[in-house]
Amino acid sequence: MSSDINREIPQYKYYKMKPEELILSLAIAMACCFFVGLIFYENIFLSALLSLVGVIYIPFRKKEQMKKRKDALNLQFKDTLYFISVSLTAGKSLETAILEAYKSILGIYPDPESDIVVELEIMNKRLLMNEPVEKIILDLAERSQIEDIKSFAQVILISKRAGANLVEVIKNTSDTIREKIEIHQDIENLIAGKKLEQKILGIMPFVMVLFLKTGSNYLEPLMTTAYGRVVMTVALFMILAGQFVAHKVMNIEV
C-alpha cells in the first residue's frame, strides 16, 4: 500500500478541467462553430460571433467527462465486488476482504492513479484507524453518487443494524449489482454502432450544405440576403435540436 497518507480525497460530483484541457477544448469548440458559421453564412463577422457559442460547450464537456469517470469507477467497482465476494465466501471478514481486494485489483488496474485503486487505498487506511466499514463505503457512495455503490452501502448499513448474515447478504447483493452492471455493458455494446451512425448523420447536414454551395449557386440567395440568413439560422437550430434529441434517445439508463 502506498505511503501517501495525505492523498487528496477524490470528488465525483464535479469535473475540474486542467488548464491545457480547458484551452484545447475551448479552441476546438470555437473553431468548429466558426467553421459552421462560414458554411451557413459565408460571413467572417457572423462566423466570429457564432464562434463565441463554443464557450457553451465547456459545461457539456465537463458533464460528459464526469459521466465517463463515474462509468469507469462503476466498472472498476464491479471487479472489486467480485474479489470481495470471493474473500467473503472463503470465510473472511468484510474488512479483510476489502484489504485483499485492494491487492487483487492492482493486478487489473496497475495505474496507482486509477480511481478504484485510490479509493481502496483510502478505505484500508481508514479501516486501520478503526473507522466502521459501513461509514467508509457510505462516504464513497455519497461522493460518487453512483446508484450501485449507494445500494451496496445501504445493504451493509441495514445488515449491520439488523444483525443479519452479513456474508450471505453482501454476497447476494454483490452478484446482483455485478449482473446489473454487465447488462448495462451489454446494452452499451449493442447500441455502440447506432451511436456511431448518429454521429455520422449529425455531420451529414453540414456536408450537404457545403456540397451544394460548392457545386452550384442555388444557395446564394440564402447567403446574401437577410431573409436567407434567417432561414439558414432556423435550419441550423433545427439540426442542433435533432442532435440533442438523438443524444437523449441514445442515453439509455439501466
pLDDT at 3: 41
Domain extents for the chain? 19-250
Distance (Å, rounded) from C-alpha 228 to C-alpha 17?
39
For the CA atoms of the chain, what is the radius of gyration?
25
* Angle at alpha carbon of residue 73, lines to 8 and 254, rounded to 5°: 145
> 40-91, pLDDT tens digit by residue?
888 899 899 999 999 999 998 999 899 899 989 988 998 898 888 888 888 8
Residue 217, CA distances (Å) to 47, 150, 201, 203, 220 in order: 20, 60, 24, 22, 5
> 122-144, pLDDT tens digit by residue?
999 999 898 988 899 999 999 99
| Residue that has been written with the C-alpha cell 466498472 in this structure | 75
Confidence at 253, pLDDT banded by 50, 70, 90: low
Instruction: Indicate the range of 2-16, 54-68, 148-162, 238-252 predicted with least confidence.
Output: 2-16
Average pLDDT on 95-99 reads 89
